[in-house]
Structure 1
Amino acid sequence: MLRPEDQFHVGIVAEDFEATLRQVSSLFGFEWSEAMGGSVEVELPTGATVIDFSCVYSKSSPRLEIVRRVPGTFWEPTPGSGIHHFGYWSDDVAADTAELESHGYVIEAIRKGPDGTPFFAFLRSTTGFRVELVTRSAQPSLERSWAHQAEPATGHMPVSSEE
């Protein structure tokens, strides 16, 4: 099962991406790593689709992920709190997904890696609490990206630990 020490970020979906970055930086002192994103194939409950995804992680902890809004998907700003999800490292995304499903969580999206196993998965509880499971094999790649200085919104979404 998931452990507190595997929780590595809090995700916020922003209506105005650039304004959110500026505000969180100026008010709370966060600095940002290089932006990631691009066309990402995901499996939604309605079927496979490609979305234009863009996000940036804070360089320091507690780690924040600011996600650019994706209209017509669950990647929309959350009314009220603004918190969209809690991200966890997972040694086995498929098994952890199945475990959460057995406790009533519903899959909202899965991205498969080059080997066909889940790279990340988003699940929502019946109470609205959303979790993102990210394969631990992505940890070295993401940690390298967090160490780099922010660039203009360029870059790409890592799809495997080889990137």
Structure 2
Amino acid sequence: MNIVAPTARQIWHAGFIVDELEPAMDELSAALGVKWADLHTVKRTLEGPGGAAWELDTRVVFSLDLPLSIELIEPSPGTPNVRRGDSAFHHLGYWADDLMAEERRLADLGLPCVAFLADQTETALRRILITQGPYDVLLEATSTLTSRPGLEHFYPNGGSR
């Protein structure tokens, strides 16, 4: 039996749920020296399997430092964007070209879709795919085909898509 190892995914961020962005940014800047992109307000519908939908109303910010960005997210009660247990750690984000194929691949491994966010400009594309990962950690596949203004330098190959 030949077992084919999967291609390694390029992890580009680690997401944390924090009560308030500004104090968390200050604390991490003091401890690690990281710099931050502009804060973004997210008011979007997060979709899930079986027609589930959640209204996100939150703020997020990414550190600008390479090779791994820190994403801070204020919780959005009643959605998947809340703390998972006592830890602020929420998900690992990685790049993928085809989120529909990635969803099928992960489902075959027993890692089901939790939620996804459609691209605002290209309705046939998903912007992110959130799946249940091992060890109760969420995995967030980020499409290389959709734009993330201000975060271009994190894209594979230095932002050239």
Normalising by structure 2, report the TM-score: 0.78
Corresponding residue number in structure 2 for 1:60:
65
Q: Which runs of 5 or more residues in structure 1 are unaligned?
A: 147-163
1:7/1:47 CA distance change after superposition, 3 Å: same
Q: Residue 75 of structure 2 is aligned with which of 62, 69, 90? A: 69
2:143 aligns to what?
135
Structure-2 residue corresponding to 1:151:
none
Report if the CA contact (8 A) 1:33-1:145 is conserved: no
Which residue in the other structure is 2:52 paired with? 47
Which amino acid in 2 is paired with 1:116? A
Change (3 A) 1:126 1:50: same
Q: Which residue does the alignment assign to 2:16? A: 12
Per-residue CA deviations over 1:5-46 (Å, capped at 9, x if unaligned) read x11011111123222111111111111001123311221346
Partner of 1:21: 25
Structure-1 residue corresponding to 2:117: 111
Contact 1:56 1:66 in 2 (8 A): yes
Superposition pairs of residues 89-100 of structure 1, within 5 angstroms? 89-100=95-106
- Aligned partners of 2:25, 2:78: CA distance in 1, in Å? 22
Could you list the structure 1 runs, at least 4 aligned residues long, displaced by more than 3 angstroms after superposition. 78-81, 138-142
- By how many angstroms is 1:2 displaced? 5.3
CA deviation vs aligned residue, 1:100-133 (integer Å, no higher than 9, x gap): 1111112111111223222111111363121001
Name whichever of 83-92 and 73-82 sits farther off: 73-82
3-state DSSP of counterpart to 1:3: coil
Q: Work out the CA distance in 2 between the residues paired with 1:29 and 1:55.
A: 19
User: What is the CA distance between 1:143 and its match in structure 2?
Assistant: 2.7
How big is the alpha-carbon RMSD for the aligned residues of Structure 1 and Structure 2?
2.2
Tell me the distance in 2 between the aligned counterparts of 1:34 and 1:70: 19
Count of aligned positions: 145
- Which position in structure 2 is the counterpart of 1:122? 130
Structural mapping, 1:144-159, within 5 Å: 144=152
Contact 2:40/2:60 (<8 A) preserved? yes
Percent identical residues: 20
Report the Cα distance in structure 2 between the residues aligned to 1:59 and 1:11, rounded to whole angstroms: 14
| Distance in 2 (alpha carbons) for counterparts of 1:126 and 1:26 | 31
**1:84/1:53 CA distance change after superposition, 3 Å:** same
- Contact (CA 8 Å) 1:34, 1:145: kept in 2 or not? no
- Contact 2:12–2:94 at 8 Å: present in 1 too? yes
